[in-house]
Amino acid sequence: MELIIKKSLPKKSVVYDTYWKFAVERQNIFFNRLNNETVWSNDEILLKHKFTNAYRASDRVSQYLIKEVIYNHSQEDKEVLFRILLFKTFNKIQTWELLTKRLGQISFRDYSFKKYDNILTNIMNSGSAIYSGAYIMTSGRSRFGHSKKHRNHLKLIEFMMNDNLDEKIRGLSDMSSLFTLLKSYPTIGNFLAYQYTTDINYSELCDFDEMDFVFPGPGALDGIKKCFSNYGEYNESDLIKYVTEVQDSEFNRLELEFKNLWGRKLQLIDCQNLFCEVDKYSRVAHPDVNGISGRKRIKQKFRATNNPISYWYPPKWGINELILNENENEKI
């Protein structure tokens, strides 16, 4: 990522410092939970409401995707891609596990629209949601013609797989190219294309630098608006790159100790997500600072789960060995 130098610098609001303080405290909670500390935080907002981790790959759904969906099965390109697309379409662990339970295994080689449709329809008819509430998927009805959203999404996955998307990915050189390719498919807009790009890049299908490309989602746009009263000559993507570049100096300026991810600094996708989370956090911490959407409340409350996570990241990041060594040293 090239260093951004522009004549007119952005003007920071009071929420800007909160951005860095939030990142530190949210990461502290991550390690406090990991280390089974009795006190996770003294921040009442963070304890009461649900926020994602400072690092996207540390979130429960991303961890499940990386460990159970991407790497715990066949590493054949088509199979890896099919599993990623299927999982991320619904983005819900329970849906994946119900599909696995009823199919035995998830495989494009054995894929049948009728079979998958029947299972998903039965799940819905039983009163269970098959989609996560993390973001809204467009129905795709105008393109594929089905009245049920999940049927259109299955057809979209079929279309992408039959278009040899896996082979096309192998011929790309960077994240931006993958983002553009994914956007060329029906119903996939900017937000979903960037999420899919990041998820596919967790696998061995590609190995692109996460610091080369970013696209702000709607929540991040709100957070950016709250952190900067004037953008200067920067656009929103520039501002995400800007904070990613200055993270070390800003933590030092505020005399904050940020515990990174076993040596891995915040990447562009992480700083993009942090803007989204700070938008939510500031609705309570800075209620007088307005974003774009005008939302004033944090809807989701935090509820602790009894299912611990054994953290494991894409092997190409080179940090799983560090986690293992740390765990072994703690046992001595």
- Same domain flag for 237 and 322: yes
Q: Which residue has the tokens 């610091």?
A: 211
6 falls within a domain: no
Q: Are both 313 and 218 inside the same structural domain? A: yes
Asked whether residue 175 is domain-assigned, the answer is no
Give yes or no: residues 217 and 327 share one domain.
yes
> Is 311 inside any structural domain?
yes
pLDDT digits (tens, 9 = 90+) for 266-277: 999 999 999 999
**Does residue 203 lie within any of the structural domains?**
no
Closest of 63, 60, 43 to residue 52, by C-alpha: 60
**Is the pTM value of this prediction over 0.85?**
yes
Q: Are residues 31 and 109 in the same domain?
A: no
How many domains in the chain?
2
Share of residues in the chain with pLDDT > 90 (%)? 85
Last residue of a domain, one of 137, 167, 197: 167
Average pLDDT over residues 184-199: 96
Distances (CA, A) of 148 to 84, 131, 151, 153, 190: 21, 13, 6, 9, 23
The single-letter code of the amino acid at 224 is I
Structure token pair of residue 178: 């993958």
Within a domain: 262: yes
Final residue in a domain of this structure, among 110, 143, 167: 167
- Domain of 319? 11-58+213-331
Looking at the structure, tell me whether residues 316 and 237 fall in a common domain: yes
For residues 224 and 325, membership in a common domain is answered with yes
User: Is 83 found in the same domain as 28?
Assistant: no
Q: Mean pLDDT lowest for which of 2-11, 117-126, 254-263? A: 2-11
In the predicted structure, residue 328 carries a pLDDT above the cut 70:
no
24 in the same domain as 85: no
80, 27: one domain: no
Average confidence (pLDDT) over 178-201: 97
Asked whether the predicted pLDDT for residue 184 surpasses 80, the reply is yes
Residue at token pair 């005399």: 255
Pick the last residue of a domain from 104, 133, 167.
167
> 226 or 137, which is more confident?
226
Does the pLDDT at position 264 exceed 80? yes
Q: Tell whether 242 is covered by a domain.
A: yes
Indicate whether 78 belongs to any domain.
yes
Q: What pLDDT, on the 0 to 100 scale, is given for residue 261?
A: 98
What pLDDT is recorded for position 1?
61
Do 228 and 139 lie in one domain? The reply is: no
On whether both 146 and 228 belong to a single domain, the answer is no
Inside any domain, residue 1: no
Q: What is the pLDDT of residue 332?
A: 47
Q: What is the pLDDT of residues 38-63, one digit of tens each?
A: 889 999 999 999 999 999 999 999 99
Mind listing the pLDDT tens digit for each residue in 100-151? 999 999 999 999 999 999 999 999 999 999 999 877 778 888 889 999 999 9
Instruction: Verify that 49 and 143 share a domain, yes or no.
Output: no
Q: Which pLDDT score is estimated for 326?
A: 76
